[in-house]
Structure 1
Amino acid sequence: MKNLAIARRYAKALLLIGKEDGQTNTYREELGTFAKLIEREKSLEQVLNNPLYDAEGRKKVLTGVIDKMEMSQTMATFLHFLFDKGRIGFLGSISEFFQKFADELKGVARASLVSAAELSTETVDKIRSALSKRTGKDIILEVEQDPELIGGIVTRIGDLVLDGSVRTQLLNMRESLKRGERV
Structure 2
Amino acid sequence: MSETASTTSGVAERYALALFELARDGGSLDTVAADIARFEALMAGSPDLVRLVRSPVFSADDQLKAVTAVLDRAGIGGYVSNIVKLAARNRRLFVVMDIFKAYRALLAAHRGERTATVVSAEPLSDGQTADLKAALGEITGKAVLLNTSVDPSLIGGLVVKLGSRMIDTSLKTKLNQLKIALKEVG
TM-score scaled by structure 2? 0.70
Q: Does 1:159 align with 2:164?
A: yes
Amino acid at match of 2:120: V
Deviation at 1:164, TM superposition (A): 4.0
Aligned to 2:120: 114
Map of 1:61-140 to 2, 5 A cutoff?
61-111=66-116, 112=118, 114=120, 121=127, 125-140=130-145
Q: How many residues align?
A: 178
Aligned to 1:5: 10
Between Structure 1 and Structure 2, whose CA radius of gyration is higher? 1
For 1:41 and 1:85, the matched residues in 2 are separated by: 23
For 2:107 and 2:149, the matched residues in 1 are separated by: 22
Q: Does 1:37 align with 2:45?
A: no
Deviation at 1:90, TM superposition (A): 0.8
Q: Which runs of 5+ in 2 are unaligned?
A: none
Cα 1:131/1:84, change in 2 over 3 Å: same
Deviates more, 1:170-179 or 1:62-71: 170-179
Q: Does 1:28 align with 2:33?
A: yes
What does the per-residue CA deviation read over 1:80-136, in whole Å, with 9 as the maximum and x for residues that have no partner?
2111111111112112222222222222333326379x8893x66444322102112
Question: Are the aligned partners of 1:48 and 1:59 in contact in 2 as well (CA < 8 Å)?
Answer: no
Secondary structure of the equivalent of 1:60?
helix
TM-score scaled by structure 1? 0.71
Q: Does 1:60 align with 2:65?
A: yes
